[in-house]
Amino acid sequence: MKMIIDDSDSDSELEIFAIAASEEVQLHNERQLGLRCGFIQGHAVIYRNRIQDHKRLYQKYFSETPTYPPNLFRRRFRMSGCLFLRILSMVEAYDPYFVQKQDTLGVLGLSFLQKMIVARRMLVYGIAADSVNDYVRIGENIAIESLQRFVRTVVTIFSDVYLGTPNKDDIAKLLEVGKNHGFPRMLRSIDCMHWKWKNCPTTWIGMYCGHIHEPTIILETVTFYDLWIWHAFFGLSRSHNDISVLECSSVFFLLAEGRAPQVNYSINGNDYTMGYYLVDGIYPQWSIFNKTITSQRGNKPTHFAKTQESARKDVERAFGVLQACFAIV
């Protein structure tokens, strides 16, 4: 605390730090006398130097001469430092919970950087809330609350942009990319994937067990070539396959209402007004689905099957990136 006071160049900051120092001494004396306990009876108070920890985190990653270079930042947080700061500024501006505050004694609380980092650590590594206590100086309850507030705020801010249906410009770009891949008028790929739910509550295990006798969650996505997942549907209980999930999802609600994107083209003398999606063999025989050829007899069917499966790797790549970058999934 003396080091922090010496480094300060503001009288108001000196006053705040002096109050914090006197409060720390008083709490230490009370702890020695056994006069103070935690908010929950029988739980001891853990005294964390949060101001020093904030400075340490800032020096490690965000100062002009950080301890760890940008490549290590990307590996540990699964994103670049510029993107991290952009999300940080927007989340802080939207939710006052992430703004650093003072209590009635003028003692500074947790900084927005600490709350943001603990949320990102839990998302990236899938670790328990109390495992970041010694690194970020945040207790278990606040860590869980920070994660919940963070993910809700991110969904509120970014869902309309990054989980919205494609507009005309996006569709034009997709059609151009599909043409370069050998599939004119292709909109993208759709597929499903099962995730094992290792932390499934005991009372829910029977609801989410299928043929593999382990709780799983099935995810349906439509993915662009640049990993933009504009459709994500998951959470169905019981055993499901791609067809049953397709019947429950909202991916083709606009198509059923006649409001699908207009894409006009002709194949073998037949006129079509809608684009199509690349799928595997389990999907139904719909005109908007382009399936691979199972019996590959001859050069043309073999070439078509290889090209179709190669272009459909975009959605498989998205599943792999989700699992590799966010262990909490």
- Digit-coded pLDDT (tens) for 40-75: 555 555 656 677 778 888 888 888 888 889 889 888
What is the percent of the chain where pLDDT is above 70? 83
132 lies in some domain: yes
Among 175-179, 248-252, 263-267, where is mean pLDDT lowest? 263-267
Split into its structural domains, the chain has a count of: 2
Determine the pLDDT at residue 258. 66
**Do 213 and 290 have their domain in common?**
yes
Of 107, 125, 160, the domain-final residue: 160
Instruction: Give residue-wise pLDDT tens across range 27-44.
Output: 555 444 444 344 455 555
Buried-state track 94-119, b at ≥16 Cβ within 10 A, e below 16: ebeebeeeeeeeebbebbbbbbbbbb
Q: How far is CA 114 from each of CA 13, 24, 49, 196, 208, rounded to the nearest angstrom?
A: 20, 21, 12, 31, 35
State whether 216 and 146 are in the same domain: no
**pLDDT (0 to 100) of residue 41:** 57
Same domain, residue pair 145 and 180: no
State which of 109, 134, 160 marks the end of a domain.
160
Residues 288 and 184 in one domain: yes
Over residues 224-244, the pLDDT tens digits come to: 878 888 888 887 877 788 888
Domain that holds residue 149: 48-160
Give the confidence band of 153 by pLDDT, cuts at 50, 70, 90.
very high
Report DSSP state, residue 9: -
Nearest to 113 by CA among 91, 80, 131: 91
172 in the same domain as 99 = no
Q: What pLDDT does residue 137 have?
A: 75
- Do 230 and 126 fall within a single domain? no
- Identify the pLDDT of residue 35: 40
pLDDT for position 94: 92
Burial status of residue 158 (CB atoms within 10 A of its CB: 0-12, 13-18, 19 or more): middle
Residue 195 in this model has a pLDDT that exceeds 70? yes
Element (H, E) at 121: helix 112-125
Going 160 to 163 to 167 to 172, the CA torsion angle's sign is: positive
Shared-domain flag, residues 62 and 200? no
With respect to residue 285, please indicate whether it lies within any of the assigned structural domains. Answer: yes
**263 & 231 share domain:** yes
- At 24 the pLDDT is 55
Instruction: Select from 160, 193, 209 the last residue of a domain.
Output: 160
The reply to whether 268 falls in a domain is yes
Position 138 scores a pLDDT of 81
Rounded average pLDDT over 307-321 = 86
The per-residue pLDDT for range 199-220, each reduced to its tens digit, is 788 888 888 887 777 888 888 9
How many other CB atoms are there within 10 angstroms of residue 284's CB atom? 11
Please name the amino acid found at residue 12.
S
283 & 185 share domain: yes
